[in-house]
Amino acid sequence: MLKFLIVILIFSLILLGYPAWRIGGWLQLPTVWHITVTILLLSSQLIARTLLKNRHGQLAYLLRRIADFFFGLSPVLLGLVILGEVVLQFSQTSELLIGLMICGIATLIAIWGVSIAWKPKVIIVPLTTDKISSPVRFVQISDVHIGSRTSRFLRQTMKQITDLEPDFLCITGDFIDQPGITEQQLASLAHFKQPIYYCNGNHERYEDHDQIMQRLRSLGVNVLRNQQLTVGELQFIGIDDANDPHQVDKILPTITIDKDRYSILLYHRPQGIETAQALGVNLKISGHTHNGQIKPFNYAVKTHFEYIKGLYPYKDAYLYVNQGTGTWGPTLRLGTTSEITLFEITPTLT
């Protein structure tokens, strides 16, 4: 535990404290402000994840958003500060100018990253199969993170989905990441006229899980918890999220898979495609990774998951990993894309 705390402290000092201290100094902030701002930014994640975690109200929400946004932008600030140090070593550029330039560049990057986070991109995935007689078009969203994200974002996302005119919608977990999210905040789900299929994610488990499941069912969502549902030529299978990397291996064999139908497995984490294929699943759809959301965090994600974004063929099955429709923490994406996935499955010509 001590080693873990030391690592977190060193990480925070480098990623949060160092850029704040150097930029404040270059901008010639008064000493008291310089020290105060640096301490607040250095401890911002600790404050947001402990003191503000279960607090409601606009002020607490705003303070958490500020803390998360600084954390999301911190790799950019760190890189710019290091570049500023180099420039100062080899030129006569003033520290004030360097500080102002860093703030200006970081602001432009932040605006760009926020715009990407607010406008998910539609990714089209064409597939074929001999198990259906007519084309199927459906949408997958994942990691919407209502709580971190607003009901306004959900309404905007559902409008994008509705405009695509899919046959149904699949939600692969982390739809909600805060307790007390009401049916009213999720009302745009009820306005969607096509079926919705859902499996949970880790963030629902961290919050008021059973109440979330009930609210979703009340809005007409098909909540699939270690069970299957057959609809025409399709079979939908949903497995509960778990920290166990072998969760699919353990649960899927307990569910009867109809190999005459096109089977779609919803599981939050991009794990278990080998077992899914062996048991007859045609398409496994997942999320969870966010593709790192903000580079270079994607490299850390790759150390935990083999598959982190896009389509992966595995023998005669496919795994698709959605990069996340929403965002967790900062409403910011850098080097990644907020995604709505549109699957277009057509019958194999015979």
- Of the candidates 62, 60, 61, 81, which has an alpha carbon nearest to the alpha carbon of residue 16? 81
Question: Which pLDDT value is given to residue 307?
Answer: 96
How confident is the model at residue 78, as a pLDDT? Answer: 95
* Predicted TM-score (pTM) of this structure: 0.90
Task: Output the pLDDT for position 350.
Answer: 53
According to the model, what pLDDT value does residue 282 have? 98
Domains of the chain with bracketed CATH: 2-117 (no CATH), 120-347 (3.60.21.10)
**Mean pLDDT in runs of 10 for the chain (350 residues)?**
79 91 95 94 84 75 86 93 95 94 96 95 97 96 93 96 98 92 94 97 93 96 97 97 96 96 98 97 97 89 94 97 94 94 90
